[in-house]
């Protein structure tokens, strides 16, 4: 695989995973904060 | 059909250099959206006040009437996955994801219109029927594609997607509350606008998934991957036709394994808040109980990925043995935790139980692939999801009925759930026996190379 293809794939992977990862991480963080109420 | 030709399977074949790690985010685009179904309950109270605004008024819908929306959606999830499974398999993942996106958004828009004219039947049709079909088609759409891209780690790959279904509610719940808050006025409850915006967001999100998904070219395999030369005892190298699979005892044994595992999980999932407060009165407050529900949903999501990944190493059958044996021990331990007043033990038991509930969902596609081959695994998985629909009825009924029975017969509230826990443990014993009898599929069910039914499917 050429360097150009690798770089292009890397960018696509970063964008695709960010697209689904950011909302998911925010959702998990929010749920975690809610779950902390159990220990208060 | 020229305009829609980009949806065809042959237009989704990956070009050389395509990274297979783009497929899990494509699958997550769909599963994170349809996972909203688990957060539908946030609309329950606002939808009982659409006319009265501050409180339920004359003509407002009742919670019992609204409960049918979710039940219908679950029913149509199982039904559509079973009916459209073969179409999804043969049409390819992009067509299925595109269709699921249109139906899911369409369901939201129709429901918004139902809220606007205050017609509950339109919401039953919109979210329940049309949205339910989107759930079924969307749920199975990436399964076989992921298995084909990750022959070395099929459990992990499907676990990633199905984890998204568990995690969808984490995004949908705060988003719905925030949107309703934005559109709420003293004379108007912002449910309609929230449905419209969520439908639009989900449509865009699912279209991104449909755009980036690809199927591997025929004969493709991961770099350095060497397929086992011979089939192992419980991992077949042969394919079974979708409608032949349902004639095998293996299909029905796995159907019962899934159904019993999910029944046991659903039984506690829906009741965790009330159960924890009644078993530990004064110790677990309503706020703490909501924290427990949040913690359990995290374990539900995490279990989907972790258990399915573990199954790649220890095997599917062994993974389900772990669910049944460990589940049995934990269910029997819950009453003991209540009797000694140990909240920590109670929370531990519930979190592990719920992780195995999620793990049951995510491990089953790879189990089916091991039994029936890759070619029709998505369609067979669709048929198997009827077990989920059945469990959705059995689980809550068993828990609610037994609780009522115990309380009317004078059992203290704190102990009313004990019998339920023992019955759930009993269900897992039956599940263990079903799993024990799962053997390799008989040769007569395997498709032959010259099978005319192969003409309708791509080999990729």
- B330-344: average pLDDT: 92
- Say if B343 falls within a structural domain: yes
Q: Could you say which residues of chain A have pLDDT below 50?
A: none
Mean pLDDT along residues B135-155: 93
Mean pLDDT of chain B: 90
Q: Is residue B1 part of a domain?
A: no
- Provide the pLDDT for residue B416: 76
In this structure, the answer to whether residues B107 and B29 fall within a common structural domain is: yes
- CA Rg value for chain A: 17
Rounded to whole angstroms, the Cα distance separating B419 from B442 reads 40
Rounded to an integer, the average pLDDT of B100-119 is 97
The mean pLDDT value of chain A amounts to 87
Same domain, B281 and B149: no
Does position B419 have pLDDT exceeding 70, yes or no? yes
| Highest mean predicted confidence (pLDDT) among B72-81, B104-113, B440-449 | B104-113
Asked if residue B178 and residue B78 are part of one domain, the reply reads yes
The dihedral over CA atoms of B374, B260, B308, B303, expressed in degrees to the nearest 10, equals 150
Q: What is the mean pLDDT of residues B334-355?
A: 93
Same-domain check for residues B283 and B395: yes
B29/A19 CB distance under 8 A: yes
Question: Do B72 and B132 share a structural domain?
Answer: yes
Same domain, B136 and B275: no
Rounded CA gap, B257 and B316, in Å? 12
Residue B146 has pLDDT above 70, yes or no: yes
Whether residue B15 lies within 8 A of chain A, CB to CB, comes out as: no
Confidence of residue B460 (pLDDT cuts 50, 70, 90): very low
The residues in B 137-196 lying below 8 A from A, measured between CB atoms, are: 164, 167, 169-171, 173-174
Enumerate the H helices of B92-142 as residue ranges. 93-116, 120-123, 131-140
Contacts of B214 (CB under 8 A, 6+ apart): B12, B13, B14, B18, B22, B23
Distance from the B146 Cα atom to the nearest Cα atom in chain A, whole angstroms: 16
Within a domain: B85: yes
Residue B319 within a domain? yes
Instruction: Assess whether B76 and B141 both reside in one domain.
Output: yes
Strongest mean pLDDT among B204-213, B274-283, B405-414: B204-213
The CA-atom distances, in angstroms, between B154 and each of B21, B32, B48, B144, B319 are 13, 20, 44, 9, 14
Whole-number pLDDT of residue B22: 95
Dihedral sign, CA of B392, B395, B397, B399? negative
* pTM of the predicted protein model: 0.90
Q: Mean per-residue pLDDT for B177-199?
A: 94
Task: State percent of chain B over pLDDT 70.
Answer: 96
The CATH number of whichever domain residue B407 belongs to comes to 1.20.1250.20
What is the structure's pLDDT at B459?
Answer: 45
What is the per-residue pLDDT for B401?
A: 78
| CA–CA gap between residue B312 and residue B318 (Å, rounded) | 10
Residue B165 in contact with residue B357, Cβ under 8 Å?
Answer: no
Does residue B34 sit within a domain? yes
Q: How far apart are CA B375 and CA B238, in angstroms?
A: 9
Task: Print the domain residue range for B279.
Answer: 242-446
B167, B299: one domain: no
Residue B122 has pLDDT above 90, yes or no: yes
Distance CA B159, CA B221 (A): 20
**pLDDT tens per residue across span B324-335:** 999 999 999 999
| Alpha carbon distance A21, A14 (integer Å) | 10
The predicted model gives B314-322 an average pLDDT of 96
Q: What are the chain B neighbours of A34 within 8 Å (beta carbons)?
A: 290-291, 294
Of chain B, the percentage scoring pLDDT greater than 90 comes to 62
Do the chains contact at A30 and B297, CB–CB below 8 Å?
no
Look up the ipTM and state it. Answer: 0.92
């Amino acid at each position: 695989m050429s360097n150009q293809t690798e770089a292009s794939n890397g960018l696509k992977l970063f964008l695709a995973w960010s697209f689904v990862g950011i909302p998911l991480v925010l959702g998990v963080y929010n749920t975690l904060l809610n779950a902390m109420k159990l220990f208060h | 059909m020229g305009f829609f030709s980009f949806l065809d399977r042959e237009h989704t074949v990956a070009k050389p250099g395509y990274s297979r790690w783009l497929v899990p985010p494509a699958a997550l685009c769909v599963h994170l959206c349809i996972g909203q179904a688990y957060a539908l309950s946030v609309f329950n109270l606002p939808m009982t006040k659409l006319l009265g605004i501050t409180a339920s008024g004359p003509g407002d819908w009742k919670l019992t009437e609204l409960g049918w929306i979710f039940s219908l959606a679950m029913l149509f999830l199982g039904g559509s996955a079973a009916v459209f499974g073969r179409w999804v398999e043969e049409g390819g993942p992009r067509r299925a994801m595109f269709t699921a996106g249109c139906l899911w958004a369409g369901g939201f828009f129709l429901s918004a219109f139902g809220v606007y004219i205050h017609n509950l039947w339109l919401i039953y049709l919109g979210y329940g029927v049309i949205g339910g079909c989107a759930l079924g088609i969307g749920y199975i759409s990436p399964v076989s594609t992921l298995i084909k891209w990750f022959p070395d780690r099929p459990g992990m790959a499907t676990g990633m997607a199905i984890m998204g279904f568990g995690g969808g509610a984490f995004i949908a719940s705060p988003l719905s509350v925030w949107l309703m808050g934005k559109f709420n006025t003293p004379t108007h409850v912002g449910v309609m606008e929230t449905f419209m915006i969520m439908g639009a967001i989900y449509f865009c999100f699912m279209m991104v998934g449909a755009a980036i998904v690809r199927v591997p070219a025929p004969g493709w395999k991961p770099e350095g991957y060497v397929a086992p030369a011979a089939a192992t005892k419980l991992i077949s190298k042969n394919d079974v036709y979708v409608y032949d699979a349902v004639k095998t005892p293996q299909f029905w044994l796995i159907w019962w394994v899934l159904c019993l595992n999910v029944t046991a999980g659903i039984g506690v999932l829906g009741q965790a808040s009330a159960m924890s407060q009644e078993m530990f009165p004064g110790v677990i407050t309503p706020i703490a109980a909501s924290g427990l529900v949040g913690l359990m949903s995290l374990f539900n999501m995490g279990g989907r990925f972790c258990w399915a990944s573990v199954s790649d190493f220890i095997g599917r059958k062994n993974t389900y043995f772990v669910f049944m044996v460990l589940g049995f021990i934990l269910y029997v331990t819950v009453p003991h935790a209540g009797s000694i007043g140990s909240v920590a033990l109670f929370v531990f038991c519930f979190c592990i139980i719920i992780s195995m509930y999620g793990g049951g969902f995510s491990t089953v596609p790879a189990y089916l692939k091991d039994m029936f081959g890759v070619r029709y695994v998505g369609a067979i998985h669709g048929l198997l999801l009827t077990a989920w629909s059945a469990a959705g009825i059995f689980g809550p009924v068993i828990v609610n009925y037994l609780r009522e029975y115990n309380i009317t017969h004078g059992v203290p509230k704190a102990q009313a759930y004990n019998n339920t826990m023992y019955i759930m443990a009993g269900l897992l014993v039956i599940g263990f026996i079903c799993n024990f009898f799962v053997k390799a599929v008989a040769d007569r069910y395997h498709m032959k190379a010259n099978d005319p039914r192969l003409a309708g499917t791509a080999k990729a």
